[in-house]
Amino acid sequence: MDQLEAAGQSRLAASLSELSGDAHGRLALQCAALDLSLVQRLVQTMVRSPQGQAHRAEIGPAMVDRIADHPDGRAEARAVGEQALRDNRVAVVLLAGGQGTRLGFDSPKGMFRIGPVTLHSLFAIHAAGIGASRRDYGCDLPFWLMTSPGTDAETMAFFEKHAMFGLDPRTVGTFVQGMLPAVDPATGDILHEAPDQLTLSPDGHGGIFRAMGRAAVLGDLEERGIDVIMTMQVDNPLMRPADPELVGAHLMAQAEMSTLVVAKTSAEERMGVMATVDGRTALVEYSDLPKDLEQAHDADGALTYWAGSTGVHCLDRGFATRIASGEVELPFHRAEKRVATVDDPDPQAANAVKFEAFIFDALPLAARTATVEMAREERFAPVKNADGADSPDTCRVAMVARASRWLQSSGVTVPDGAVVEIDPRFAQDPADLHGRVPTDLIIDEPVYFPPPA
Ligand code: UTP
């Protein structure tokens, strides 16, 4: 109670004192789990006495390793990445702690069934990619899932129900990201959704650093000699876990943090873009990119801010540790949201401020970064919305189109409209298909290419 008062949360302290028995115990437990000094700092600087922008940041174009510029360099990057995998220097973290609000799916998003033929889940597809790389490179490739209190138990139960999708249970782990309370926009008081329940939400994908530190994941990786942590989003089944080309490009650049980008489809596409901000590599969210820059074109007619982030990064383990330990700090962002609260005078208006950290805010903190372009149709088809753009429908179309292209490159006849799905353990790359599919094959019904026996 005293700590709540000291942190400027006397209203919450009073609500706690009004409760008794189990209800008191439940609320007291949630209060005890709060990082009160962080909450106090966020409320003070972003709600009660918000500081204005010190200066207008100077945004400039990013330096990107474009596909067309370095075809040979890419083969070299791939070879370097493959060697790093064989040398057991790489781990993968799947970001799976989000609430998936836009998709409107009740369970963790990774359980969403996306396979165009099999209806395999997003988790199943990512796990298959991990299994394929472990087999092909003879490596451990530790696989961690970042969950949140709302997704952790269901995620692990799902993996267990599916026998860890064939992975050794000792090699798959979860760590749970932190939660932050929503606060009243006028007073900074922590909100309740019920008398004995605070309004809490995950602390954003930038919570990965603190969470990896707390759960001793970084120490474990250090002991194993792993120095590259690839992070990827759960909702993009086209992404190849531990993509050797990205890992290699990251290592060749001696980068502390790297980003995989694809070309935006239009100036208006709602994607964060790579840029420089005050001279440092950064990602600028679409809502923060001034309209004139969004529409800017180079002398050759190409979009200036074309490099959309896929949300895939490689992190140097030492760099991640510096952030996890608080030696360098990620900023928090403030978002006005609607949340369910006990006393809600206007059920339409935004009634809460939430705080979130973003993984990409680590970019300007890195001594060196690499930004690597890949073809969108090969690596990026996220499931964000229930329908329209970036929905299950557009994602399945992209999965089928990629599988069809790969098969056609091996001589297989794939008529328009055919539905095909390739398990990552069958092929993670078109070259893997050579010798695995008969070239005189004609697809005339939905076909799934399963893992080899
Ligand atoms: P998004 O920003 O797309 O959020 O997350 P979301 O939760 O999936 O969906 P909406 O915005 O509520 O509709 C991108 C990736 O980051 C992870 C998500 O699970 C997804 O893989 N993420 C996001 C976390 O792991 N933790 C968070 O706090 C937020």
CATH of the domain at 78: 3.90.550.10
The confidence score (pLDDT) of residue 348 equals 72
Residue nearest to atom 8 of ligand 1 (CA): 100
> How far apart are alpha carbons 85 and 107 in whole angstroms?
33
Does 282 lie in the same domain as 161? yes
Does 437 lie in the same domain as 386? no
> How far apart are alpha carbons 361 and 387 in whole angstroms?
29
In this structure, is residue 99 part of a structural domain? yes
Does 252 lie in the same domain as 174? yes
Query: What DSSP element (H or E) covers 143?
Result: strand 143-147
> In degrees rounded to 5, what are phi and psi of residue 113?
-85, 115
Ligand 1: atom nearest CA of 202 is 28
Q: At what angle do helices 122-137 and 152-161 cross, to 10 degrees?
A: 60
Residues whose CB falls within 8 Å of the CB of residue 356, separated by 6 or more in sequence, listed in order:
180, 202, 203, 204, 206, 332, 333, 335
Question: What is the identity of the amino acid at 50?
Answer: P
Torsion, Cα of 399, 403, 409, 413 (10° steps): -120
The confidence score (pLDDT) of residue 71 equals 72
Does 296 lie in the same domain as 254? yes
Does 279 lie in the same domain as 205? yes
Q: How far is the CA of 310 from the centre of ligand 1 (A)?
A: 13
Does 440 lie in the same domain as 297? no
C-alpha distances (whole Å) from 404 to each of 78, 320, 416, 426 are: 23, 38, 9, 14
Query: What DSSP element (H or E) covers 201?
Result: strand 200-202
Does 340 lie in the same domain as 294? yes
In this structure, is residue 19 part of a structural domain? no
**With b meaning 16 or more CB within 10 Å and e meaning fewer, what string describes 303-329?**
bbbbbbbbbbbbbbbebbbbbbeeeee
Does 124 lie in the same domain as 78? yes
In this structure, is residue 10 part of a structural domain? no
Q: How far is the CA of 97 from the centre of ligand 1 (A)?
A: 6
Spell out the per-residue pLDDT of the chain, length 453, in tens. 789 999 999 999 999 999 999 999 999 999 999 999 999 999 999 999 887 666 778 999 998 887 767 777 789 999 999 999 999 999 999 999 998 999 999 999 999 999 999 999 999 999 999 999 999 999 999 999 999 999 999 999 999 999 999 999 999 999 999 999 999 999 999 999 999 999 999 999 999 999 999 999 999 999 999 999 999 999 999 999 999 999 999 999 999 999 999 999 999 999 999 999 999 999 999 999 999 999 999 999 999 999 999 999 999 999 999 999 999 989 999 999 888 777 766 777 789 999 999 999 999 999 999 999 999 999 999 999 999 999 999 999 999 999 999 999 999 999 999 999 999 999 999 999 999 999 889 998 999 999 998
Does 422 lie in the same domain as 317? no
- For residue 321, how far is the Cα from the chain centroid? 18
In this structure, is residue 5 part of a structural domain? no
Q: How many domains does the chain have?
A: 2
Residue nearest to atom 18 of ligand 1 (CA): 98
Nearest to 305 by CA among 55, 63, 67: 63
In this structure, is residue 125 part of a structural domain? yes
Beta bridge partners of 442: 413
In this structure, is residue 285 part of a structural domain? yes
In this structure, is residue 329 part of a structural domain? yes
Residue 307, domain extent: 59-390
In this structure, is residue 118 part of a structural domain? yes
Residue nearest to atom 23 of ligand 1 (CA): 98
The confidence score (pLDDT) of residue 73 equals 78
User: Is-contact 228 196, C-beta < 8 A?
Assistant: no
User: Is-contact 323 365, C-beta < 8 A?
Assistant: yes
Does 233 lie in the same domain as 148? yes
Ligand 1 pocket residues where CB is under 6 Å = 95-102, 109, 146, 177, 202, 204-205, 207, 233-235, 311, 384
Q: Which of 347, 364, 390 is the last residue of a domain?
A: 390
The confidence score (pLDDT) of residue 337 equals 86
Does 433 lie in the same domain as 352? no
> How far apart are alpha carbons 190 and 173 in whole angstroms?
32
Q: How far is the CA of 21 from the centre of ligand 1 (A)?
A: 36
Does 138 lie in the same domain as 80? yes
